[in-house]
Amino acid sequence: MPDACKLAAGNWKMNGTRADLDEARALANAFPEPGCGVLLCPPATLIAAMAEAVAGSAVMVGGQDCHAATAGAHTGDISAQMLADAGARHVILGHSERRADHGETSADVAAKARAAHQAGLVAIICVGETEAERDAGQTLDVVLGQLGASLPEGATAANTVIAYEPVWAIGTGRTPTLDQIAEVHDALRAAVPDTAISLLYGGSVKPANATEIFAIANVDGALVGGASLKAVDFGAIITALATA
């Protein structure tokens, strides 16, 4: 059975202008052979410029969302083909901020993932429980339910990554216990259609906690928000993953 690939993925969210491309260049220079996949997902306005800035390096560039359609009357939206054309290789889908702020359902996420696959992009599909759901003992039901409804047919390790992101851990500085992360990742590993699909943990991953999180079985990397904005912080997380 092939092992899942390690991936350190950074989600810049709605942060960054061209001046911040120096952070991407610094990463590219610091990690010519990182020992794991390295991905930055900047705002759509920066994808093409970042892809150019890191061209020829190990750093990959991705989007944070795409529309399910290939083209048409969808003001403000971006298709998967457009992301690929701009230099993206991955796209984050179903992030909890999209699910909460834009009412995205798991069916929407599955449709977007189909579009991403058709465009040749790797879909990073996010799942995770709220604090109320965890307190109610519903974590595994919620996460596995989202997974089942968000994964399109034909999802394989070549075109799909799963990110487990407890909603209450995103941007809060709080993280689940290592046992709680392990419980969810073990359940995800048993549920994914291809056992080599990479499983990322996301939610307040920092240089200080990365090593212990990456030591957990079935954690193949991280989806990192705040700590991916600065090359020095993200670089420490990359090093922790590469040496895990």
Could you tell me how far CA 206 lies from the centroid of its own chain?
15
Q: How far is the CB of 33 from ligand PEP (least distance, A)?
A: 25
Cα–Cα distances in Å, from 126 out to 26, 119, 148, 197, 236? Answer: 27, 19, 12, 13, 23
Residue pair 179/216 in contact by the 8 Å Cβ criterion: no
- Annotated active-site positions, please? 95, 165
- Residues of the shown chain interacting with ligand PEP in the complex, contacts defined by CB under 6 A: 11, 13, 165, 170-171, 202-205, 223-227
By beta-carbon proximity to ligand PEP, the closer residue of 161 and 205 is 205
Q: How far is the CB of 200 from ligand PEP (least distance, A)?
A: 9
Q: How far is the CB of 166 from ligand PEP (least distance, A)?
A: 9
Please name the residue that has the structure tokens 């519903």. 138
Q: How far is the CB of 214 from ligand PEP (least distance, A)?
A: 14
Please name the residue that has the structure tokens 């390295």. 38
Cα–Cα distances in Å, from 138 out to 59, 113, 145, 169, 195? Answer: 37, 25, 10, 16, 24
By beta-carbon proximity to ligand PEP, the closer residue of 81 and 162 is 162
By beta-carbon proximity to ligand PEP, the closer residue of 81 and 129 is 129
CA 54 – CA 235 distance, rounded (Å) = 15
By beta-carbon proximity to ligand PEP, the closer residue of 110 and 205 is 205
